[in-house]
Structure 1
Amino acid sequence: MPKVKIELKGIETLQREIESQKNLAPVKEVVAKHGALLRKRTQAEMGAAYVRGYSTGATSRSVTDTYTNGGLTAIVAPHTEYFAYLEYGTRFMDAKPTLTPAFNYQKIQFINDLRKLTKK
C-alpha cells in the first residue's frame, strides 16, 4: 500500500493572515460610534414627537446605550415602563414611534461603515 504524504507550504503565512483578521478593534469602534449615534437620534426623535403639555422628558433622559459581547453588541433602549405605549400606541392613543425610525436610519449608516472595513 503506497504511503500518502501531504506537505503544506506557506502555513506560517496563512497563520499570520488568520491572526491579522482577528483584529476586531475597527468593528468595535464602528459599533460604539453607531450605538452612541442611535441613542442621540432616538433622543432627538423623542424631542420632536413628545411635545404635548404632559411631556416631561423622562423617557428621553432614560435612553441609554450599553455594550456587551466584548464591544461587538450595542443595546440602545429607553427605561421608562410606559415607553412601549408611546412607541406603539394603545387603543386610546396613537403611536409616536421614535426608536424605530431612528434605528431604521442608523442601521443603513452602520452597514455602510462595516462594508468600508471589508474594502480595506
Structure 2
Amino acid sequence: MTEKPIAWGYVRLRDDTDDQELILIEDGIFKFAEAHGLRLTHTYYEEGPGISPSRLVRRLIREDVRHVIVPSLVQITEHPLMQLLVSEAITLDAGALLYETSEVHGRADVR
C-alpha cells in the first residue's frame, strides 16, 4: 500500500477571524486533502496584517513537503500582486503544488 503524500495547510489569521470561521476553514482544508489523496499533517498559521511566505517556504524545503492547501488566495491576501507572490514562492521556490480548495496552481517536482 502506497503512503499518501504529505500536505500542509496555510491559513492567515485576521483580527476578525472567529472560532467558528476557523473551524470551517480547517475542516475544508482537511476534507480537500482527503478527497485528493493527501495526508494533512500540519497547518501553518500566519497572524497579522502582513504575510511572510518566505518562512513557510523555508519550512517546506526543510521538511520536503510538496503540497500546500489554502482556503483561497484571497483568504491569505486580498492584494492580487501579493497573491501572485505567495503562489510563486510556494510553487517555484519550494517546488510544491499549491491547492486552493477549488483549484490547483503551480508546478512541482512531485514525488
Please report the TM-score for the alignment, with normalisation by the length of structure 1.
0.30
Please report the TM-score for the alignment, with normalisation by the length of structure 2.
0.31
Of Structure 1 and Structure 2, the greater helix share is in: 1
Structure showing greater Rg: 1
Of Structure 1 and Structure 2, the greater strand share is in: 2
